[in-house]
Amino acid sequence: MTSTPTKTNWSYPTRILFGNGRIAELGDAAKGASFRRPLIVTDPGLMKLPVIGQAKEILAKAGIEAGVWGNVLANPTETNLAEGLAAYKNGGHDSVVAIGGGSALDCGKCIAFMAGQTRPIWDFEDVGDWWTRANADGIAPVIAVPTTAGTGSEVGRAGVITKEDTHEKKIIFHPKMLPVVTICDPELTVALPAKFTAGTGMDAFAHCLEAFCAPTYHPMSAGIAVEGIRLVKDNLAKAVANGKDLQARGNMMSAAAMGAVSFQKGLGAIHSLSHPVGSLYNTHHGLTNGVYMPYVLVMNREAITDKIEYLARVLDIKDGFDGVLAWVLDLRKQIGVPHTLKELGVPDTSKADLIAQMAIVDPTAGTNPVPLTEANAKALFLAAFNGTL
């Protein structure tokens, strides 16, 4: 198998500058996209690291003065988004450079999207053709610079924001939310601690796995998902064990982008149950996905056996479904993903009914291979809480 190249450019589904050190090209990318006064959107953790100052300096050398708003929450809310939107408007900005993990990229994309809208953000939820309600001319352009390898938001056309009054994670969608340029520089992920390398990696894995298992017909996404899973198998544990392994880091950045491309085929119960748990208990999204993964595989077994057996052959895993399940359990243990929601920090099962009710109306529930009901959603939550496979 060909190793990851040092540098390469892609055009799928947007312009991607991939390779070590590509952050140095941020100024040229911004200038080429006609950015005049971008707002750098990031989180408090990255504000403490050199990358934000480096990005400002690179833009300044290209003659572009950037502002910075660095208060993105781990699970962005409508209030958090409003704060960022105010910074954008008050600073007279015309574009966004989103730097960080999935939360920063999602929030940055939503700021750019809402910059020219007059309706509430919930009017643009990913439901039917609601995206057509937007004033497309008012959407500001975005350059995405991921510093994790997980959500793949850098190649996505949506952002996830938590609705505070209902604690629901809502997907906001518009085709023009797709970044105009993405810079995937594996060197920017080196500082990510092992715990979050594991969590974000499991998010990429969940995207690919659920997309592959979704019952919808989309062979292009299915093929991308399989290769993304292979990259996870070969590289996630290496990236967790040695954060300076740029080969593994680069391959995980690829897997993350592939997950986001592939999940237009659909997701499933891993995500539909992870979303309410994350919004109610503020758990890490990728780690929550990782906890749920084997329990959902077991529930879906009858509907996905043929697909998982094919996946086992591609990954050179013996014993078909059982072998893949054993590999998932072993990988989680190897990289430190908790086996139960209780270990993750969910205190009790008092909200089991509420979580089940929220899960079945989550937009990712509709493409689970087995129809999701309140009963089986609650059973999944309890199984994941107690560790019962």
**In terms of Cα–Cα distance, which of 284, 63, 51, 75 is closest to 159?**
75
CA distance 366 to 357: 14
Q: What's residue 42's pLDDT?
A: 98
Return the structure tokens found at 227.
């290769």
Q: What's residue 5's pLDDT?
A: 67
pTM for this one? 0.94
**To the nearest whole number, what is the mean pLDDT of the chain?**
96
CA distance 329 to 346: 20
Categorise residue 32: left if φ over 0, alpha if ψ from -120 to 50, beta otherwise.
alpha
Collapsed DSSP state (helix, strand, coil) of residue 36:
coil
Of the chain, the percentage scoring pLDDT greater than 90 comes to: 96
- Check pLDDT > 80 for residue 1: no
Residue 61 CA: distances (Å) to CA of 41, 270, 324, 338: 19, 44, 50, 45
Domain topology for 193-386: Dehydroquinate synthase-like, alpha domain (1.20.1090)
CA distance 176 to 169: 21
CA distance 222 to 316: 18
Bridge partners, residue 169, by sequence = 162
Q: Are 142 and 95 in contact (CB under 8 A)?
A: yes
Return the structure tokens found at 141.
């352009």
CA distance 131 to 125: 7
Which part of the chain is CATH 1.20.1090.10? 193-386
Collapsed DSSP state (helix, strand, coil) of residue 146:
strand
DSSP state of 133: G
| Beta carbons within 8 Å of 343's beta carbon, 6+ residues apart | 291
Question: Is residue 11 very low, low, confident or very high in pLDDT (cuts 50, 70, 90)?
Answer: confident
| Amino acid type, 360 | I
pLDDT tens per residue, range 52-92: 999 999 999 999 999 999 999 998 999 999 999 999 999 99
Bridge partners, residue 143, by sequence = 97, 181
Q: What's residue 9's pLDDT?
A: 86
pLDDT tens per residue, range 353-367: 999 999 999 999 999
pLDDT tens per residue, range 231-263: 999 999 999 999 999 999 999 999 999 999 999
DSSP state of 162: E
Over range 327-337, report the average pLDDT.
98
Collapsed DSSP state (helix, strand, coil) of residue 95:
strand
Q: What's residue 6's pLDDT?
A: 76
Over range 308-328, report the average pLDDT.
98
Over range 257-286, report the average pLDDT.
96
Q: What's residue 3's pLDDT?
A: 65
The CATH number of domain 7-188 is 3.40.50.1970: yes
Q: Are 151 and 101 in contact (CB under 8 A)?
A: yes
Phi, then psi, of 76 in degrees rounded to 5:
-60, 140
Which part of the chain is CATH 3.40.50.1970? 7-188
